[in-house]
């Protein structure tokens, strides 16, 4: 019976509302007091039944709930034959609970949207070579799947053949499609907008990136912050305190109506709901923008950050060396580039790929008599010409003369943190290229946004040499930059900052970053990084999009501020109502309950504003 009544709370509220209208019409229009009282009594009983059951269930686990306050207040209203107010109080309480649940469901829409995006079926290759549709649970690692235009990609995998545009908004938050072809990675839950792909399954079921995102967001929205735990404890003791206050007022004044009114007005409903709705909405906004907060406590801690420490490679920089600067000498540059590409194609050195990417499509010639000079470069014969490709030491060894301009260029390239690739043809320097891991596009502008959000210290730690680190630091305008650091050195530096009283966030992506991510007040992992880094972090930026970091910090600050606003609204309304009882003649149960439910709706709507939060674009003044 209890379950049946509780499952019909919304219907009870609706019927109560109709009966209250009938009661007022009977009293005001037909002047029939008996009919009016009958309608109000039935409305009160219907409304009080689920409230009383909830109060009883709470008492069974030794919790004095808000429902008990309302139940006692309704009984008191019956005792003084104030049926009109008891009916209105129970209706407003149930209607407030309905609005609360409805709006909380909206704030949790990120989870619902993600769950609905989860693929249910896949086209799996059978032993006869054909493809049959099977449930996603029947797909195993290594299976070959077919994905057609408009279909959801069912697993994390690698493209075997085909080409198509994939909408990865579910994973990265980006709406622009990404071109996929042989050898590229695809993710479960993303949508193939055009083309056809054959993929091999790398991760299936709960191991996919998409499933982990859902799990992280669910865990985050179910977690409780210190503020929520404090308010739970506060409500646990506050509710009995209101009961005692009501009893004392009754003993002193002998005024049952005043005592009952205090019970109604003292309900801390807005205080109890205000903080959770802010946190749930903030986490939902983050999920929609490719930012995963692992709990509401993370949001509060991150909002207080004053120092952000960055790993360099793969975080501030792209992680892939590329040609940053180049200079040409003499004539026949095109032929020299062709000879250079021909030689570098034979090399497995990391700089060779950067050089080939820079040159692009060009004619390649046969390479003969190749000699690898360890630690210096390569000497070879191309089309009968002797080609030397390597560093300055190789040029000196081969007796290549460097004029004043070339020496000045070399000094400038080295000062800028480049690794040098020099190319000489038949004893004459032709090409100088500077290769380095370049800063990610937009990083400088995003660092400026972080400063505008109150970050006082921007620090870079790297295992790279100090010269390269200094170059990147100057370009980005960082507060500090330290090179030649091993993982334990980075962790020790984070510990030192925390001991100095700074509130530190660390941003990284590699296994070597895991100790620092775990040690920092807030660990932030780039989503394309290692699983270990992601597991030990508190915040994940999907798709390694550095541009999401300012939004994440701004959202954390907005959520923390919103939570404080809700607490202020809730406490302010309760104090106002109680003051109205003792110092005015117009306050009664109905008005108090209306204001009380209005405060609950106010904190819910205030919290829901976070679902629409966007970091405002500010002019960077050339990012200063």
What's the whole-number mean pLDDT along residues 574-595?
Answer: 82
Q: What is the pLDDT of residues 267-292, one digit of tens each?
A: 766 776 677 778 878 888 888 888 88
Mean pLDDT of the chain: 84
**Hey, what CATH topology would domain 319-438 get?**
Calcium-transporting ATPase, cytoplasmic domain N (3.40.1110)
pLDDT at 621 over 70: no
Active site residues: 311
- The CA-based angle 490-492-498, given to 5 degrees, is 105
Q: Are 195 and 162 in contact (CB under 8 A)?
A: yes
Domain ranges of the chain: 2-108+220-278+562-611, 120-212, 319-438
Poorest-pLDDT segment among 41-45, 134-138, 576-580:
576-580
Number of neighbours of residue 488 by Cβ within 10 angstroms:
11
pLDDT at 534 over 90: no
Poorest-pLDDT segment among 12-21, 104-113, 505-514, 595-604:
104-113
Higher model confidence: residue 357 or residue 510?
Answer: 357
Residues 6 or more apart whose Cβ sits within 8 Å of residue 140: 201, 204
Q: What integer pLDDT is reported at residue 268 of this predicted model?
A: 67
Higher model confidence: residue 37 or residue 532?
Answer: 37
Give the confidence band of 173 by pLDDT, cuts at 50, 70, 90. Answer: very low
Cα–Cα distance measured from residue 272 to residue 563, given in angstroms and rounded to the nearest whole number? 11
Give the confidence band of 175 by pLDDT, cuts at 50, 70, 90. Answer: very low
Q: What integer pLDDT is reported at residue 127 of this predicted model?
A: 92
Which architecture does CATH list for 120-212? Distorted Sandwich (2.70)
What's the whole-number mean pLDDT along residues 587-605?
Answer: 80
pLDDT at 538 over 80: yes
Cα–Cα distance measured from residue 597 to residue 268, given in angstroms and rounded to the nearest whole number? 10
Q: What is the pLDDT of residues 242-271, one digit of tens each?
A: 888 889 988 998 888 788 888 777 776 677
**Which region, left, alpha or beta, applies to residue 505 given φ > 0 means left and ψ of -120 to 50 means alpha?**
beta
Q: What is the pLDDT of residues 44-81, one digit of tens each?
A: 999 999 989 998 998 888 877 778 877 887 887 787 78
The pairing of strands 428-439 and 457-461 is unpaired
Q: What is the pLDDT of residues 193-233, one digit of tens each?
A: 889 999 999 999 888 867 766 665 555 445 455 655 665 66
pLDDT at 36 over 90: yes
SS3 for 466-497 is HHHHHHHHHHHCCCEEECCCCHHHHHHHHHHH
Q: What integer pLDDT is reported at residue 619 of this predicted model?
A: 43
pTM for the structure as a whole: 0.64
């Amino acid at each position: 019976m209890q379950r049946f009544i509780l499952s019909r709370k919304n219907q009870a509220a609706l019927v109560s509302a109709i009966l209250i209208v009938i009661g007022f019409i009977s009293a005001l229009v037909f002047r029939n007091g008996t009919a009016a009282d009958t309608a109000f009594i039935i409305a009160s009983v219907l409304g009080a039944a689920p409230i009383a059951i909830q109060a009883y269930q709470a008492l069974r686990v030794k919790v004095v709930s808000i429902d008990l306050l309302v139940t006692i207040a309704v009984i008191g209203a019956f005792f003084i034959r104030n049926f009109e107010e008891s009916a209105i109080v129970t209706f407003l309480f149930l209607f407030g609970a309905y609005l609360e649940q409805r709006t909380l469901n909206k704030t949790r829409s990120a989870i619902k949207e993600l769950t609905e995006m989860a693929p249910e079926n896949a086209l799996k290759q059978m032993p006869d070579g054909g493809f049959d549709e099977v449930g996603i649970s029947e797909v195993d690692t290594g299976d070959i799947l077919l994905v057609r235009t408009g279909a959801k990609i069912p697993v994390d995998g690698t493209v075997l053949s085909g080409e198509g545009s994939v909408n990865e908004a579910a994973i990265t938050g980006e709406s622009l499609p990404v071109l996929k072809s042989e050898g590229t990675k695809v993710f479960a839950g993303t949508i193939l907008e055009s083309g056809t792909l054959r993929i091999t399954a790398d991760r299936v079921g709960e191991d996919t990136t998409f499933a982990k995102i859902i799990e992280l967001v669910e865990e985050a929205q179910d977690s409780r912050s210190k503020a929520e735990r404090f308010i739970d404890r506060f409500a646990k003791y506050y509710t009995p305190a209101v009961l005692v206050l009501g009893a004392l007022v009754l003993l002193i004044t002998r005024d049952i109506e005043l005592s009952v009114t205090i019970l109604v007005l003292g309900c801390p409903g807005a205080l109890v709901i205000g903080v959770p709705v802010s946190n749930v909405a903030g986490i939902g906004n983050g999920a929609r923008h490719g930012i995963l907060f692992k709990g509401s406590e993370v949001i509060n801690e991150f909002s207080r950050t004053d120092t952000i420490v960055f790993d360099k490679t793969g975080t501030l920089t792209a992680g892939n060396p590329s040609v940053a600067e180049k200079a040409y000498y003499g004539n026949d540059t095109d032929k020299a580039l062709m000879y250079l590409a021909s030689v570098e194609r034979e090399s497995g050195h990391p700089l060779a790929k950067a050089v080939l990417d820079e040159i692009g499509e060009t004619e390649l010639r046969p390479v003969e008599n190749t000699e690898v000079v360890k630690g210096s470069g390569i000497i070879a014969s191309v089309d009968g010409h002797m080609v030397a490709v390597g560093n300055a030491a190789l040029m000196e060894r081969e007796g290549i003369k460097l004029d004043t301009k070339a020496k000045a260029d070399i000094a400038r390239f080295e000062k800028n943190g480049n690794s040098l690739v020099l190319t000489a043809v038949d004893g004459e320097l032709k090409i100088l290229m500077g290769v380095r891991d370049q800063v990610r596009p937009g990083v400088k502008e995003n660092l400026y946004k972080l400063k505008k959000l109150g970050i006082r210290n921007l620090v870079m730690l790297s295992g790279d040499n100090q010269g390269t680190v200094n170059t990147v630091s100057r370009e980005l305008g960082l507060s500090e930059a330290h090179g030649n650091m091993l993982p334990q050195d980075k962790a020790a530096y984070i510990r030192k900052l925390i001991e100095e009283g700074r509130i530190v966030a660390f941003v990284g992506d590699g296994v070597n970053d895991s100790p620092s991510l775990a040690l920092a007040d807030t660990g932030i992992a780039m989503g394309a990084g290692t699983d270990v880094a992601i597991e030990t972090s508190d915040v994940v930026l999907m798709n390694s999009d550095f541009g999401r970091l300012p939004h994440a910090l701004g959202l954390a600050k907005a959520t923390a501020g919103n939570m404080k606003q809700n607490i202020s609204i809730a406490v302010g309304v309760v104090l106002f109502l109680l003051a109205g009882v003792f110092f005015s003649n117009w306050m009664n149960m109905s008005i108090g309950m209306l204001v009380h439910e209005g405060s609950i709706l106010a904190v819910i709507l205030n919290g829901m504003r976070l679902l629409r939060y966007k970091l405002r674009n500010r002019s960077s003044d050339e990012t200063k």
